[in-house]
Chain A
Amino acid sequence: MSETMMPLWEVFIRNRSGLPHKHAGSVHAPDAAMALQAARDVYTRRGESVSVWVVPSSAITASDPADKDELFEPTGTKVYRHPTFYEVPEEVGHM
């Protein structure tokens, strides 16, 4: 079969809770309009969503898994970025 490959799109949906769009999966479609249609059919069959985004997969720039440590490891020692690092007397109450 010498068919042209259908472009791949990544699908992001936002559910009713109002949280950010979240990656749901991918679909193949010739253009954005049909990708949106396919995403609706494939990923929102049970009223999961109030909004759908489709993005050409080729447009996504991702970090390299090999760089994982140098990118994300440094924050591991930065405990002072968390509220529990700071001491507040109990009498002061919740803060």
Chain B
Amino acid sequence: MYTQALNVKDTGKPASAEDPGKLARFQARIDAEEKIEPNDWMPEAYRRTLIRQISQHAHSEIIGMQPEGNWITRAPSLRRKAGLLAKVQDEGGHGLYLYAAAETLGCSREELVDQLLAGKAKYSSIFNYPTLSWADIGAIGWLVDGAAIMNQIPLCRCSYGPYARAMIRVCKEESFHQRQGYEIMMTLSRGSAAQKAMAQDALNRWWWPSLMMFGPSDKDSVHSTDTMKWKIKRFSNDDLRQKFVDATVPQGHYLGLEFPDPALKRDEKTGHWQHGEIDWSEFKRVLAGDGPCNRQRMKVRTKAHEDGTWVREAALAHARKRAERAAAVRIAAE
């Protein structure tokens, strides 16, 4: 999802180097559905996997502000503008909750941000697609946030306490995101022929990338066994993708729109919607850095960070000066 590249195998110290007694006690706690907290003992691979997953999730929220931020000044009404602004603000907030959760594992936010800006950390492939029309804002809310929620709800029960707590907050706030997107799609679908065509075009472009958000197919993602065992992840990529497709296809039909997948059909026996083959070469290309907007997203993020440097430095200098002054007054009074 926002953490879709995590199927990369952890290549650090092998788990066998850990104390077997501690390891067994740790696993027993997880099996008993106990939460693991920051100062508790945990295997190094668990810690590293979480730092990678949570920070990647945080980076996705922060980069995810860009495609939608693109339309704030051009929203078609004040109502839409207020809603979109609130949604983009939420994403900034979600990024911050998640950085804070990652920091509890012993990695500073500065380091995490540096990894993103240096191109060493990944973020969700979905944010490397452009938002070409207002209808894309509808499609993102409906599909991208819809997919994100599907993934984030089980993360509320993740074994790592601070991550689970951050996700509970995120999920509570995010329920409006999908509704505002669907409402935009509904307004366009019931509008003029040109507006309906805009909505259809947005669905055509966002459908497949949204399905890719769930990450590689289970048959190609052999490395999720550890994250399942540790109860970081509770459902496989394909299971979550299926849930999303089943929930979303009827919503699209209600809008009177067509999905850009000729193979899409409902299995009468199971009741599930079956989708066609996903173009995994596109997924790999975008994730590896060669999507339509990868370079632009990083350029904007880097510029924002650099432009803010003087503000952070000035605020720190001001705080230092005030603290020194207060200390001097205290000494003089004594």
A59: interface (CB < 8 Å): no
Q: A1-B110, A25-B97 are in contact. Are A30 and B39 (CB under 8 A)?
A: no
The interface size of chain A toward B, counting residues with CB under 8 Å, comes to 22
B295: interface (CB < 8 Å): no
**Which B122-154 residues have a C-beta within 8 angstroms of A?**
none
Contact assessment for A30 and B318 in the assembled complex, using a CB-CB cutoff below 8 Å: yes
B309: interface (CB < 8 Å): yes
Q: Which of B39, B97, B114, B322 contacts A62 (CB 8 A)?
A: B39
Please indicate the chain A residues that have their CB under 8 angstroms from the CB of B103 in the complex.
Answer: 8, 26
Most chain A Cβ neighbours within 10 Å, of B100, B312, B315, B318: B100
Please indicate the chain A residues that have their CB under 8 angstroms from the CB of B100 in the complex.
Answer: 25-27
As a 0/1 sequence over residues 95 to 113 of chain B, the CB contacts with chain A under 8 angstroms (1 = contact) are: 0110010010000111000
As a 0/1 sequence over residues 13 to 27 of chain A, the CB contacts with chain B under 8 angstroms (1 = contact) are: 000000000000111
Contact assessment for A45 and B90 in the assembled complex, using a CB-CB cutoff below 8 Å: yes
A50: interface (CB < 8 Å): no
Contact assessment for B316 and A4 in the assembled complex, using a CB-CB cutoff below 8 Å: yes
B296: interface (CB < 8 Å): no
Chain B min CB distance to A47 (Å): 12
B69: interface (CB < 8 Å): no
Please indicate the chain B residues that have their CB under 8 angstroms from the CB of A8 in the complex.
Answer: 103
Q: Which of B39, B97, B309, B322 contacts A42 (CB 8 A)?
A: B97
Contact assessment for B315 and A30 in the assembled complex, using a CB-CB cutoff below 8 Å: yes
Q: A25-B166, A27-B96, A45-B90 are in contact. Are A5 and B319 (CB under 8 A)?
A: no
A3: interface (CB < 8 Å): yes
Main secondary structure, interface of B, reads: helix
Q: Looking across the interface, which residue of chain A has its beta carbon closest to that of B104? A: A26
B37: interface (CB < 8 Å): yes
Q: A1-B110, A1-B114, A64-B39 are in contact. Are A30 and B96 (CB under 8 A)?
A: no
Chain B min CB distance to A9 (Å): 10
Chain A min CB distance to B172 (Å): 9
Please indicate the chain A residues that have their CB under 8 angstroms from the CB of B86 in the complex.
Answer: 45
Contact assessment for A30 and B173 in the assembled complex, using a CB-CB cutoff below 8 Å: no
Q: Which of B97, B173, B309 contacts A3 (CB 8 A)?
A: B309
Please indicate the chain B residues that have their CB under 8 angstroms from the CB of A29 in the complex.
Answer: 315
Please indicate the chain A residues that have their CB under 8 angstroms from the CB of B309 in the complex.
Answer: 3
Given contacts A28-B109, A45-B93, 12 further A-B contacts (CB under 8 A): A1-B114, A8-B103, A25-B97, A26-B103, A29-B315, A30-B312, A31-B322, A31-B323, A34-B315, A43-B93, A62-B39, A65-B41
Q: Which residues of B contact A (CB under 8 A)?
A: 37, 39-41, 86, 89-90, 93, 96-97, 100, 103, 108-110, 114, 165-166, 169, 173, 309, 312-313, 315-316, 318-319, 322-323
CB-defined A-B contacts under 8 Å, sample of 24: A1-B110, A3-B110, A3-B312, A3-B313, A4-B313, A5-B108, A5-B110, A6-B110, A6-B312, A25-B100, A25-B169, A26-B103, A30-B315, A30-B318, A30-B319, A31-B319, A31-B322, A34-B319, A45-B86, A45-B90, A45-B93, A45-B173, A65-B37, A65-B41
